[in-house]
Amino acid sequence: MATSEKKADAPAAPAKGGGVSIVGLVATAVFAGAAAFGGAKAADHRGSSPASHDTHDTHDAAPHVESPGFTLPLDPFLVMSSDTNHTAHPMRVVLAIEFDQTAKEETVRRFVPRIRDSALTHLRTVTYEAASDPAQMDHLRSDLMERFRSTGVTGVTRVLVTDLVVQ
């Protein structure tokens, strides 16, 4: 036999060095996928997904809200508000008033000048700091609702601030 034939029949020597093992690569991929799946399941189990709460908890359901009667959009108001340093700031406010189902639109329309007057009177007293603070928005709504009810109009259920710009 020739020396070249001996080399062909001999088993190949294992590769030396730090080569990548296919088994190691596949095992790493499987473990990474399992960890990602397990993490997603654990997060879902802890309730981080709002959809999972809605299907299981019936006591956290949103309260039933009646649809309003008609909504009366008011023309925009442009007033000047003052800050603590007595500097004037222009303020543009757009309001809409929701009424209950029993209120008649033709009856309410007669009160629009009174409603606008009471809104304008109140908006002139709002300070720049109060108008700029989102936490004060509910207070502004409730004050306006009280003023609208005091004009004699009945059936006001909600005051909506549809636009508020203060400079």
Total domains in the chain come to 2
Cα-based distances in Å from 17 to 7, 10, 80, 122: 22, 21, 80, 83
Q: Of 65, 75, 69, whose CA–CA distance to 96 is shortest?
A: 75
pLDDT band at 6 (very low <50, low <70, confident <90, very high): low
Whether the per-residue pLDDT at 83 is higher than 80: the answer is: yes
Q: Are residues 96 and 129 in the same domain?
A: yes
The mean per-residue pLDDT over the stretch 66-91 comes to: 90
Q: Are residues 79 and 143 in the same domain?
A: yes
User: Is 15 domain-assigned?
Assistant: no
Q: Of 112, 162, 109, 114, whose CA–CA distance to 140 is shortest?
A: 162
pLDDT of residue 99: 93
CATH of the domain at 141: 3.30.479
pLDDT of residue 35: 57
* Residue bearing the bigger pLDDT, 34 or 85: 85
Q: Are residues 127 and 157 in the same domain?
A: yes
Q: Are residues 81 and 120 in the same domain?
A: yes
**56 lies in which domain range?**
20-63
User: Is 122 domain-assigned?
Assistant: yes
pLDDT band at 66 (very low <50, low <70, confident <90, very high): confident
User: Is 2 domain-assigned?
Assistant: no
pLDDT of residue 97: 94
Q: Are residues 56 and 118 in the same domain?
A: no
Average pLDDT, the chain: 78
pLDDT of residue 49: 46
DSSP characters over 17-72: S-PPPHHHHHHHHHHHHHHHHHHHHHHHHHT--HHHHHHH-STTSPPP-PPPS-EE
Q: Are residues 43 and 91 in the same domain?
A: no
The mean per-residue pLDDT over the stretch 49-74 comes to: 66
- Which stretch of 21-30, 44-53, 79-88 has the lowest confidence by average pLDDT? 44-53
Q: Which residues, including other chains, have CB under 8 Å from residue 129's CB and lie 6 or more apart?
A: 83, 84
Whether the per-residue pLDDT at 75 is higher than 50: the answer is: yes
Q: Which residues, including other chains, have CB under 8 Å from residue 121's CB and lie 6 or more apart?
A: 147
Residues 138/101/147/129 CA torsion (nearest 10 deg):
20
Contact (CB, 8 A) for 117 and 162: no
The mean per-residue pLDDT over the stretch 34-44 comes to: 55
- Which stretch of 17-21, 84-88, 118-122 has the lowest confidence by average pLDDT? 17-21
* Residue bearing the bigger pLDDT, 39 or 93: 93
Whether the per-residue pLDDT at 39 is higher than 90: the answer is: no
User: Is 114 domain-assigned?
Assistant: yes
Q: Return d(Cα 26, Cα 3) in angstroms, integer.
A: 39
